[in-house]
A and B are shown apart, each in its own frame.
Chain A
């Protein structure tokens, strides 16, 4: 059994600006901008979790059954959640050689969120202060937003059975049938009278079903005395089905708990899509003297989303490893080392409708159907194919006290599926997925760990994971760029935009158009950790993470506020009259970047692209065995306390590089406070085993 109690609260993400004595301080009670005007709305959220599990069985039947319940609160009002989880894993051996495993899990969750919409949500109305949509920054006025009721329910059933039949010791057949069903039901209700409106309700029901068949057969035999071969063959078929039903209702006076049917004006929308992917493969592993391992194989895939002119796609693979430390020339002092290298291809299929020229009836208006162009279509559309080469070693030294796994990888994606903008004057202005371009990714992954102290009662472990990733658009089919995601010669997903070339000069900004700022994803991730084992089973652990090399664009918070004549912390030093309004001090005292950012007619979100390097202390934890406090029936008990995301260093002077975004209705991760940075979290957990 386990119970966890946790609390979350916000970190500071504004600037330490004292606005005591200003009208804003008097109106809102928030006299420092270190939370970027969010302070009156933030609270501590409490999140309990309880779970229990039991396992047991005999030779022919083993079982594991678990259940759990979680409650969650966010850092804002109206952020609540509940989650129920249950799981059962069963394993049978009905006859010799046949084993059946059946695993099933079911979760049900509910979440209430606060509105973050444009005019009727917290986001802009809080950070823009008196220039918000209410023209009033008093919390009791802004909190009218809490009447906007947003709730989601998610049900997920995952079940599957695996039949393993080994007729003889050298022939194994394994068939897996899996089924994953997800349903997310979302209701966004603006009640009658909200913002003076007549009431609006959107219900959004999304279902996803994935049915999987997977068969693998393996036949092992000795080729010669020192060479053993394992030949595998098989096939997979995966059916993925999406279903979305949306209802929109408007105008429901008198209905306190309306449904779409309660509304005077109603609309319905339905979308369905199904994709089947099926393939077969052959593979052979040669084991030469348990020292050299060579794998050769290929798979062929077909996909219902491929264009009519496209057949099967074949993916070869080849890999080998060599336990060099088993060689006679190797000295024990050189440790244990395995070298490995691999080459393989994999693919990514387009979406269900990408290959087909389609039209949509969403142009309907005034109750009559109207067709509009939807997708240009491409009968030759196929998968993008990624070929990856990797090499490295797994090594340990000093009696396994120092361990290093190192991998270098370089992948090249050919026929990359990229959204190419349509030519508006030719009728289809939307993006069309096309097999254009070549993208490249390369990097190093290092996982190192050491045990400087390794005694029965004492221990000290050090860990360090380092990951680098460098991507590049090598070829874009003759284009210089495809949207902002792919720019020739630049990393994939790169920030490009206007740039102030003379940021510190006290002059008018000199703007460079289409400046490449840098990648949106980190190019370096370093994760150090350490664990100390103390007598009596006490354990202390610390884990941190450093991400660097990337940029973050504040796409609307600051520039959107400035352009609406709101004041923002990052411009504070340039405001005349202590920021009572957005009037700037004489321009000859404002450097070019300040003018570009803080002048409403000049500002642009490109000027708020920041280097996003940061370090975050992800976890500091202590585990203490506490079975001595409990009855004899308890075989073990441990209390763990941890503090997560407690300390940070970031290069951005304001906001946070991990600031979230609003999720789509199909997004299963229901983050609380999506426009706030990850919270600081305190967790106390008690785990008891009987």
Chain B
């Protein structure tokens, strides 16, 4: 072999080696790209993907999600201690972790937690209705009606307590937009109600909404269709932190004693009547609430005497598992009474009879007899009795803020119980009660910042 041929053979060998290397490189690259594209397909367990909620087995749990969020939304800042303190249902014990000092003084909290919960309740219920409208899903009529009921109650609470309404990321609207949407849901629920419990819940909700919309005839008509014994309760779960009754948690003395019944209307009313709806007690070894109230001048160190709130019936203290009523048969009587006082004031005695009918359905814990009836000698007197009775019957149910707002707005006669706290501490004079926009929650900043349909005019 000459040198040229040798070079040629050597060059060929080098080329062959390079070709083999190149093939290996291409094979490795192809494998790598394959892994890159195929290996990235992962389905993770845990969170439920949206499409799975169409499955029939998920429907009940979806509707219950709406119930859970209605329960969350009716407490916290609404039924729970801050708003209860602002509306003087309970007296603040000074704890600032659960009740900011401004709120102790009477300012409304921002209410973001309730807003989110109630909006989510509406969304879940209406999302369920959207799914159930697909015939192939074969949704149960009972669940369809129940979704309407929870959507209605979520919107009812939003419409009653917030100064403005926002529906599904839309613009600011008057609160009547939420109430009218609630009314429609209750009417739809009545169309498909599967049992009396659903029918009564829908009538009661629609009566509340029509009261708020000043449809007195409609409210009275619906209220009359609800039996006296009816109650629609949402029941918290004390075993789950986020699903508990928060006012109950802060009343639990482990170690919170955030509020007290001292200085409230009920401090004197309960011992005088034994009304089972608003009992309280003293607890040996714990004479004071858990903190100090700024400027409180009734004790040397600012600690407020602690009168612990009890559950209705006084079997145990108001606790993390205590249910909250959304609607009651007794409230329906009061709605009918108010309709009479508004529409036919001269029939005030008829209204008083309805108020006392509601009252007579409760047995005193001290006399073991039906509660004594209220006496009234005039229209104005009867209004005062109605307002007092709504204060008692709707206690810790997120009803009072709306009552005070509409009675103030409509300049109704009579007085509602409003204990004089100003001499007890300067904080009750330093804060303007309620919000700057009125006796209602403002749409929270979180909604204003995130919703492109609402200007970012933040509320401080």
Residues of A within 8 A of B (CB): 118-120, 131, 133-135, 171, 195-197, 215, 217, 219, 233-235, 237, 250, 265, 267, 270-280, 300-304, 306, 312, 352-353, 356-366, 368-375, 377, 420-429, 480-481, 513-514, 560, 563-565, 581, 600-603
Does B68 contact A600, Cβ atoms closer than 8 Å?
no
Q: Known contacts A278-B39, A426-B123, A560-B96: does B47 contact A358 (CB below 8 Å)?
A: yes
Does A564 contact B39, Cβ atoms closer than 8 Å?
no
**Closest A residue to B291 using CB positions:** A564
Q: Known contacts A237-B35, A274-B42, A421-B446: does B120 contact A429 (CB below 8 Å)?
A: yes
Does B430 contact A300, Cβ atoms closer than 8 Å?
no
- Residues from chain B with a CB closer than 8 A to the CB of A421 are 446, 449-450
Least CB distance from A314 to B in Å reads: 11
- Residues from chain A with a CB closer than 8 A to the CB of B458 are 513-514
Q: Does B62 contact A (CB under 8 A)?
A: yes
Give 15 new A-B contacts, CB below 8 A, not counting A235-B36, A276-B42. Answer: A215-B32, A275-B42, A278-B40, A352-B42, A353-B47, A358-B48, A360-B47, A363-B65, A364-B243, A371-B65, A424-B446, A425-B123, A560-B96, A565-B291, A601-B431
Q: Does B427 contact A (CB under 8 A)?
A: yes
Least CB distance from A686 to B in Å reads: 49
Does A564 contact B120, Cβ atoms closer than 8 Å?
no
Does B68 contact A372, Cβ atoms closer than 8 Å?
yes
Does B40 contact A306, Cβ atoms closer than 8 Å?
yes
Does B169 contact A423, Cβ atoms closer than 8 Å?
yes
- Residues from chain B with a CB closer than 8 A to the CB of A306 are 40
Does B255 contact A195, Cβ atoms closer than 8 Å?
yes
Does A425 contact B169, Cβ atoms closer than 8 Å?
yes
- Residues from chain B with a CB closer than 8 A to the CB of A272 are 44-46
In the complex, which of the residues B47, B236, B292 contacts A375, with contact meaning CB atoms closer than 8 Å? B47
- Residues from chain A with a CB closer than 8 A to the CB of B2 are none
- Residues from chain B with a CB closer than 8 A to the CB of A373 are 120, 123-124
- Residues from chain B with a CB closer than 8 A to the CB of A601 are 101-102, 104-105, 294, 427, 430-431
**Closest A residue to B115 using CB positions:** A424
Does B167 contact A425, Cβ atoms closer than 8 Å?
yes
Does A359 contact B44, Cβ atoms closer than 8 Å?
no
Least CB distance from B124 to A in Å reads: 7
User: Which residues of B (107-122) have their CB < 8 Å from a CB of A?
Assistant: 112, 115-116, 119-120, 122
Does B292 contact A196, Cβ atoms closer than 8 Å?
no
Does A278 contact B36, Cβ atoms closer than 8 Å?
yes
Q: Does B235 contact A (CB under 8 A)?
A: yes
**Closest B residue to A275 using CB positions:** B42
A627 to B371, CA, bound (A): 95
Least CB distance from A554 to B in Å reads: 16
**Closest A residue to B294 using CB positions:** A600
- Residues from chain A with a CB closer than 8 A to the CB of B427 are 601
A370 to B96, CA, bound (A): 32
- Residues from chain A with a CB closer than 8 A to the CB of B239 are 250, 265, 267
A420 to B449, CA, bound (A): 10
Q: Does B380 contact A (CB under 8 A)?
A: no
Q: Does B29 contact A (CB under 8 A)?
A: yes
A302 to B32, CA, bound (A): 11
Q: Known contacts A131-B291, A423-B450, A513-B458: does B67 contact A370 (CB below 8 Å)?
A: yes
A353 to B50, CA, bound (A): 12
In the complex, which of the residues B28, B61, B301 contacts A215, with contact meaning CB atoms closer than 8 Å? B28
- The 18 sampled A-B contact pairs (Cβ below 8 Å) are A118-B97, A120-B255, A131-B291, A133-B255, A133-B290, A135-B303, A219-B25, A235-B29, A271-B46, A278-B39, A352-B44, A362-B242, A368-B61, A370-B68, A377-B50, A424-B115, A426-B123, A427-B122
A196 to B444, CA, bound (A): 38
Does A276 contact B94, Cβ atoms closer than 8 Å?
no
Does A171 contact B21, Cβ atoms closer than 8 Å?
yes
In the complex, which of the residues B69, B112, B444 contacts A363, with contact meaning CB atoms closer than 8 Å? B69
Q: Known contacts A135-B290, A600-B294: does B47 contact A427 (CB below 8 Å)?
A: no
Q: Does B229 contact A (CB under 8 A)?
A: no
A481 to B449, CA, bound (A): 9
- Residues from chain B with a CB closer than 8 A to the CB of A217 are 25, 28
3 closest residue pairs by CB, A with B: A427-B123, A235-B32, A358-B47
Q: Known contacts A267-B240, A565-B291: does B36 contact A427 (CB below 8 Å)?
A: no
- Residues from chain A with a CB closer than 8 A to the CB of B168 are 425-427
In the complex, which of the residues B101, B290, B451 contacts A423, with contact meaning CB atoms closer than 8 Å? B451
A312 to B255, CA, bound (A): 55
- Residues from chain A with a CB closer than 8 A to the CB of B377 are none
- Residues from chain A with a CB closer than 8 A to the CB of B29 are 233, 235, 280
Least CB distance from A213 to B in Å reads: 8
- Residues from chain A with a CB closer than 8 A to the CB of B58 are 371
User: Which residues of B (258-306) have their CB < 8 Å from a CB of A?
Assistant: 288, 290-294, 301-303
Does B44 contact A274, Cβ atoms closer than 8 Å?
yes
**Closest A residue to B255 using CB positions:** A133
- Residues from chain A with a CB closer than 8 A to the CB of B256 are 119
Does B45 contact A365, Cβ atoms closer than 8 Å?
no
**Closest A residue to B452 using CB positions:** A423
A114 to B41, CA, bound (A): 43
Does B100 contact A563, Cβ atoms closer than 8 Å?
yes
Does A565 contact B302, Cβ atoms closer than 8 Å?
yes
Does A513 contact B460, Cβ atoms closer than 8 Å?
yes
A614 to B21, CA, bound (A): 58
One digit per residue, 1 when the CB lies within 8 angstroms of any chain A CB and 0 when it does not, for chain B 296-319 equals 000001110000000000000000
One digit per residue, 1 when the CB lies within 8 angstroms of any chain A CB and 0 when it does not, for chain B 1-35 equals 00000000000000000000100010011011101
- Residues from chain B with a CB closer than 8 A to the CB of A219 are 21, 25
Does A369 contact B61, Cβ atoms closer than 8 Å?
yes
Q: Known contacts A233-B29, A235-B36: does B61 contact A357 (CB below 8 Å)?
A: no
A217 to B451, CA, bound (A): 52
- Residues from chain B with a CB closer than 8 A to the CB of A372 are 65, 68-69, 120, 124
Q: Does B53 contact A (CB under 8 A)?
A: yes
**Closest B residue to A131 using CB positions:** B292
Least CB distance from A341 to B in Å reads: 29
One digit per residue, 1 when the CB lies within 8 angstroms of any chain A CB and 0 when it does not, for chain B 418-455 equals 00000000010011000000000000101101110000
Least CB distance from A425 to B in Å reads: 4
Least CB distance from B36 to A in Å reads: 4
A225 to B28, CA, bound (A): 30
Q: Known contacts A276-B39, A301-B36, A429-B116: does B50 contact A424 (CB below 8 Å)?
A: no
A77 to B205, CA, bound (A): 57
- Residues from chain B with a CB closer than 8 A to the CB of A302 are 36-37, 39-40
Q: Does B237 contact A (CB under 8 A)?
A: yes
Least CB distance from A109 to B in Å reads: 28
Q: Does B64 contact A (CB under 8 A)?
A: yes
Q: Does B254 contact A (CB under 8 A)?
A: yes
A280 to B35, CA, bound (A): 9
Q: Known contacts A278-B40, A424-B120: does B47 contact A196 (CB below 8 Å)?
A: no
A274 to B42, CA, bound (A): 7
Least CB distance from B232 to A in Å reads: 16
Least CB distance from B426 to A in Å reads: 9
A235 to B96, CA, bound (A): 56
**Closest A residue to B32 using CB positions:** A235
Q: Does B397 contact A (CB under 8 A)?
A: no
Does B96 contact A359, Cβ atoms closer than 8 Å?
no
Does A234 contact B451, Cβ atoms closer than 8 Å?
no
A276 to B21, CA, bound (A): 29
One digit per residue, 1 when the CB lies within 8 angstroms of any chain A CB and 0 when it does not, for chain B 176-192 equals 00000000000000000
Least CB distance from B316 to A in Å reads: 15
Q: Does B140 contact A (CB under 8 A)?
A: no
A596 to B303, CA, bound (A): 23
**Closest A residue to B167 using CB positions:** A425
Q: Does B49 contact A (CB under 8 A)?
A: yes
Q: Does B222 contact A (CB under 8 A)?
A: no
